[in-house]
Amino acid sequence: MMIGLVVAIAAGGAMGALVRYGAQLLWPARGARVPVAVLLVNVVGSAIGGVFLALAQWDSGGTFAVSSSLALIVMTGFCGGLTTFSTFSVETVELASAGSWRPAAANVVLNVILGLGGAALAFTVTYGVIIVTTGAFVG
């Protein structure tokens, strides 16, 4: 693996982590019924991952194709730094240990449903835009 790619992935991860930190400053988890910042970054990161998955899979010479290196930088680097399973887990346990079972359950359901939904929707929309724009279909 090229050192430049490793550095770019690390830089992407740092940028994603800084965006997550900013979101956590804007929407602190303490006292919130559902930790909005982590939910938001997980859904946005999943959607970005869905877009780049669709773009990285487009290999028919389409004008929207991205290199595997760019996909790694964005998905592994930026989205990896942005999204967080550990914080989601800790905040859920914190809610449950305080006896806030409904908010804890809502946090789990919202992160899973909206995260998967965001990735699937972004992937589908991106593929649709590519197909409509190029008139091609990749099966």
Domain that holds residue 41: 3-134
Q: Residue 1: what pLDDT? A: 63
Q: Residue 62: what pLDDT? A: 54
- Average pLDDT of span 112-129: 94
Read off the pLDDT of residues 59-118 as tens digits, 9 standing for 90 and up: 655 555 678 889 889 999 999 999 988 888 989 998 999 899 999 999 999 999 999 999
Q: Which residue has tokens 């946005």?
A: 44
Is 52 within the bounds of a domain? yes
Kindly report the average pLDDT of the chain as a whole number. Answer: 88
Number of domains in the chain: 1
* Residue 83 known to bind ligand: yes
* The length of the chain, given as a count of residues: 139
Is 139 within the bounds of a domain? no
Element (H, E) at 139: none
- Beta carbons within 8 Å of 61's beta carbon, 6+ residues apart: none
Is 101 within the bounds of a domain? yes
pLDDT confidence tier of residue 131, bands split at 50, 70 and 90: confident
Give burial (CB, 10 Å; 0-12/13-18/19+) of 96.
middle
* Residue 92 known to bind ligand: no
CB-CB contact of 74 with 52 (8 Å): yes
Is 73 within the bounds of a domain? yes
Is 109 within the bounds of a domain? yes
Give the whole-number percent of the chain exceeding pLDDT 90: 60
* CA–CA separation, 104 and 122 (whole Å): 27
Give the whole-number percent of the chain exceeding pLDDT 70: 91
Is 72 within the bounds of a domain? yes
Is 51 within the bounds of a domain? yes
- C-alpha neighbours within 13 Å on the C-beta side of residue 45: 27
Is 13 within the bounds of a domain? yes
